[in-house]
Structure 1
Amino acid sequence: MGTFYNQLTLDERYQIQALSKLDFSAREVGRRLDRSNKTVSTELRRCPSGVYCAKTAHQNADINKRTASKNHRRTEDVIRQIDWLLGLDLTPEQIAGRMALEGCAQPISRQSIYRYIAYQQRRHRLPRKGKRYRQRKGAEAGVHLIPDRVDIDKRPAIVDDNSEIWHW
């Protein structure tokens, strides 16, 4: 099924730095850290100067992680605002539209709001409890629903005068 991917920690980066100064190969460093040699060699190639610095590499990795497209925009302020608007019985579509209209610092899409609600297991906070609207079929008014119905064109002329009670 594959292996679970973990980011390198700062401690592991310091170990890579120390072992690379001792001229260990990437394969040997990977064996000692229980990591792939490809992971270690990729990490060593990230240094622009050729000399590996663990602190700089870790800072660059954090910056890359924060600016990545997969990074979510759910900051604490956004979550507080979503919870408050859900308390007003607004739908995620209305919340996303309102945040965009008000010029929120980090606008969020309706789908991201739905994902947040599902992740927090708060479907009960949605107006229809997360269920889609189902249009009712066969419930329209018409001749077949009202017995002895007289069409509006065939009603007596006195009804148009509104002179009798109940004809208003």
Structure 2
Amino acid sequence: MEKDTSILIWKYLDGECTPGEKARVQQLLLEDPSFAEEMSLAQNLQETLQQLEPEEPSMRFTARITEQLPALYRPIHTQADLLPKFLVRLFGGVVGTVAILSLGLFFASNQSLQGKFNILGKYTLDLGVFSNPLVFTAFLMSLGILSYFLMDFTLKKWFLKK
């Protein structure tokens, strides 16, 4: 109950009371001497606080605090691998092997499976195994993935060195 009365007193002093609360405060002031005493103490405290000027910190204190702020907001460098390095290396090795085997098939093939494409009349191109679109697409994909791994490896070394 005492907490409610102190809240009511401060609301009354701050001018935040509803008309019903104002009537209750007026009634308690007339009937309850302890409430009237508590109200007078709160009024004295409020007047004293209003007479005080708020203190401002010294410039040295402000400068010292603002110097420490950048340290609080420095970036946190974390590095977390999404996949274990073993799996990444294994996948890169498999892709590299497929690319090398594809290149070997491309250059070692002397067969002609539908293989002569007529380009610009007299020029002919013998693609051998790569005349099959599926094989040729697999070769291009493996070559692209291998170049991605090599580029990623090189750029990581280059950027982490700086």
Calculate the TM-score normalised by the size of structure 1. Answer: 0.24
Structure with greater strand share of residues: 2
Structure with greater helix share of residues: 2
Calculate the TM-score normalised by the size of structure 2. Answer: 0.25
